[in-house]
Amino acid sequence: MARTSDTREMKVGQEQTHDMSATGKIDRADFIDEFEEVDTPNWEANKQEAFMNEYVEVMISEEQNPNAEQFIETSVNGVNQFFIRGEVQRVKRYFLEVLARANPYHISTKEFIDANGNKGTRIIKTPGKKYPFQVFNDSPDGVRWLQSIMMEA
């Protein structure tokens, strides 16, 4: 059964939080990101290559900002693919992966008081979506694959 996926409705990546106390030493181990495991398809190389070469219909969402890119260029192994916002295009899945992985991070900091009453700084790293898009008429494996890519970001 064909399915539609909309990245505007998908969770992107996993927020990471790190606390830095105002006193004491900072340990490098405190800044190692911890991630939730995501179920991803685990195929042999031939099946994976065939899957990535499947054609999918994709549309990058319109942007309200008049200065936003209208033509988005992606490149895989020297092969370029341009996307035009608001138009449905039929492309190979490996270009879709480039779009799905184009997720910038927003870094913010907040002061907090630790258990001992000392001031500290909390660093919050939140993933975002650079090019929200929709995928039309995808297979169930394709939907699961896209969700796992978005969670990796």
Q: Under a CB-based contact definition with an 8 Å cutoff, are residues 133 and 60 in contact? A: yes
pLDDT on residue 1: 46
pLDDT on residue 68: 86
pLDDT on residue 85: 93
Instruction: Find how far residue 25's CA is from the centre of its chain.
Output: 33
| pLDDT tens-digit series, residues 9-40 | 666 666 777 677 766 666 666 666 565 555 55
Using 50 as the pLDDT threshold, list the residues of the chain that sit under it.
1
CA distances from 1 to 10, 49, 139, 149 (A): 20, 22, 7, 21
CA distances from 133 to 10, 81, 83, 98, 120 (A): 10, 15, 11, 12, 39
* 139, 44, 96, 102: CA torsion to nearest 10: 130
pLDDT on residue 59: 94
